[in-house]
Amino acid sequence: ALATALLLLLFGLSAIPFNYALSFLFDNHNSAQISLLVINFTTGFIATMAFVIMDSINSTKELATSLRLVFLCFPPYNLGEGLLRLSASFFTGTILGKDVNIFGWGVVGGPLVLMAVEAVAYLALTLMLETKMARRLSDALDSLRTASFFGELDRTAELPMRTGGAP
């Protein structure tokens, strides 16, 4: 029960700043909500199941291992992996009679540590995106784009224009 509670707690602490940081990619809150739902479902359920399936097939084990490194950056994947490992450890202990440390790195220890690190990292990213420094950088990039766009318009204005009459 404690391992599940910690998984859920750290998932909440890492998923909130993760989703908040991703929300800066959207201008419309409706599209942001739907997109974040799809991202969380994809990284939490589909990626977890894809890894389990690919890891069980010999020809795709190497790819599964490589993709897992990417998946570990997403809090929903870590929650899914932690819950799967926790349930597997229960059956290992019950059926095989082996003593399993559920807080070991190979069970829920890894996902817990990763979600704690992600909570801090995504919170730092979110705070950076919210500060005026990040906004100044964004405004500077926008002004460069605008200057470049208007520079193109100024050059087209310099082209000779016909003033009526037949060519």
Q: Mean pLDDT, to the nearest integer, of 128-150?
A: 74
Between CA 98 and CA 59 the distance in angstroms is 30
> Could you please report the per-residue DSSP string of 6-33?
HHHHHHHHHHHHHHHHHHTT-SSHHHHH
Q: How confident is the model at residue 71 (pLDDT cuts 50, 70, 90)?
A: very high
CA 7, distance to chain mean position in Å, is: 17
Which of 17-21, 32-36, 154-158 is least confident? 154-158
Q: Mean pLDDT, to the nearest integer, of 90-110?
A: 86
